[in-house]
Amino acid sequence: MSQLQNHEFSEGVTMLDFASPIIAPHGDGGDTSFMNNVPDPVTAGPELPTFKFALDKSTGKVIGNCYGKEATVTQLPISKGLAGVSMQLEPGAMRELHWHATAAEWAFVLEGQVRTTVIAPDGTSETNDFEPGDVWYFPRGHGHVLECLGNKPCHFILIFDNGYFSEFGTFSITDWLGHTPKALLAKNFGLPESAFEGLPQEEVYFAQGEVPPTEQTVPLQGWKKPKLTHKYAMMKQPPHRVFAGGREWTVDSTSFPISTTISGVILELEPGALRELHWHPTADEWHYVITGNISVTMFGSHGRYRTETLEQGDVGYIPQRLWPLHRKRRQHPLPHSDWVQHRHLSDHRSDSVDRRQPYRHLGDKLFEAGLAVR
Catalytic residues: 95, 98, 100, 105, 144, 167
| Residues in a beta bridge with 196 | none
Distances (CA, A) of 190 to 33, 185, 194, 292: 52, 8, 12, 55
Nearest-5° Cα angle at 340, 6 to 117:
65
* DSSP single-letter state for residue 74: T
248 is in an annotated binding site: no
> 128: how many CB neighbours lie within 10 A of its CB?
16
Ramachandran area for residue 302 (φ above 0: left; ψ -120 to 50: alpha; else beta): left
308 is in an annotated binding site: no
285 is in an annotated binding site: yes
Of 287, 278, 293, 297, residue with least CA distance to 340: 287
Of 272, 265, 267, 18, residue with least CA distance to 162: 18
278 is in an annotated binding site: yes
Strands (E), 100-205: 105-111, 113-119, 125-130, 135-138, 143-149, 154-160, 171-172
Contact 230, 116 (CB under 8 A): yes
280 is in an annotated binding site: yes
Q: How far apart are CA 357 and CA 362, in angstroms?
A: 7
The two beta strands, 171-172 and 13-19, are unpaired
147 is in an annotated binding site: no
361 is in an annotated binding site: no
Contact 354, 95 (CB under 8 A): no
Of 153, 142, 138, 129, residue with least CA distance to 217: 129
Q: 308 φ, ψ to 5°?
A: -130, 150
**Could you give the count of Cα atoms lying within 13 Å of 241 in the half-sphere of its Cβ?**
13
Distances (CA, A) of 359 to 347, 351, 354, 365, 372: 22, 13, 9, 9, 19
Binding residues: 98, 100, 105, 144, 278, 280, 285
Binding residues for Mn(2+): 98, 100, 105, 144, 278, 280, 285
